[in-house]
Amino acid sequence: MLTAMLTRRTFLPSVLLLCIALSPFARAEGTGPTPYPPKTDEAAWPGAGVIRVFPWMVENRDYFWTKRTQKQGAVVFIGDSLVGNWKDLERTFPGLSVANRGIGGDVSRGVLFRFQEDVLDLNPKAVVILIGTNDLSARGSSDDVIANLSAVIAMAKKHNASMPVVVCTVPPRNSPKAPIPSGAVEELNQKIRALTASGVQVLDLFAQLATPEGKPVPEYFGGDLLHLAKPGYAKFREAVQPLLPAAATP
């Protein structure tokens, strides 16, 4: 599957193109993002836990690369489809440069792998991170998610100790097509809340989007009770706005 961003390249069958994109020798340094290592090469991936690579992830990162100059100094949102599907994110905060670096299907280990190039190389004014729900779908360990998030936070602090970093708890979910172990969201979120000790701000997005019983508020979610609907993103915006730098708010 090729998107419009790839049509200017010499045509290759999709499978061959993907193989080339995943090769560590595929491109000269500086001409594109570092290719994903093979999923089976555990040692080539930083962090721990679930590894996911899909063709659209390669395409998304190629597109991000073309916006590196334009998005210098932006507030960067990074995560999975809960971020990536926020289609009007870059228009949601008037007067604020925002970069959406969400990729559908991504996991915490994937965010760790691409955090330098997709986020820190933009010299962001602030970073908002929402990741972990796909780790749970793949039966990943909450401890691995926290270890990966802690590594991401350490990278951010090393890059700019004064840069605001906001880590979001995972929203509630109730999707029969993507079941997870009972109590998994609550367990992970309890550990995410403890990340305040790392010097970051934690946005309790779960509390913003859940009923008193801990279920998804229907109006905030799509029919799958997993992905956010427009009212859910409006609630997200309302909750995250006060955590952004004063100079970056409308």
Range of the domain at 92: 47-245
The answer as to whether 42 is a domain residue is: no
Residue 17 pLDDT more than 60? no
Q: What is the CATH number of the domain that holds 233?
A: 3.40.50.1110
**Structure-token pair, residue 141:** 């360990």
Note whether residue 70 is domain-resident: yes
Least confident of 21-30, 100-109, 178-187, 215-224: 21-30
Any domain includes 1? no
Residue 52 lies in a domain: yes
C-alpha 120/C-alpha 134 separation (Å) is 23
Q: Is residue 223 assigned to a domain?
A: yes
In-domain check, residue 179: yes
Q: How many domains does the chain have?
A: 1
Question: Is residue 32 included in any domain, yes or no?
Answer: no
Measured N-to-C along each axis, helices 184-193 and 142-159 cross at an angle, to the nearest 10 degrees, of 30
Of the listed ranges 3-7, 35-39, 115-119, the least confidently predicted one is 3-7
- Residue 136 falls within a domain, yes or no? yes
pLDDT tens figures, 27-44: 445 689 999 999 999 999
What is the band of 246 on the pLDDT scale with cuts at 50, 70, 90? low
Question: What does the alpha-carbon distance between residue 84 and residue 86 come to, in Å, rounded to a whole number?
Answer: 5
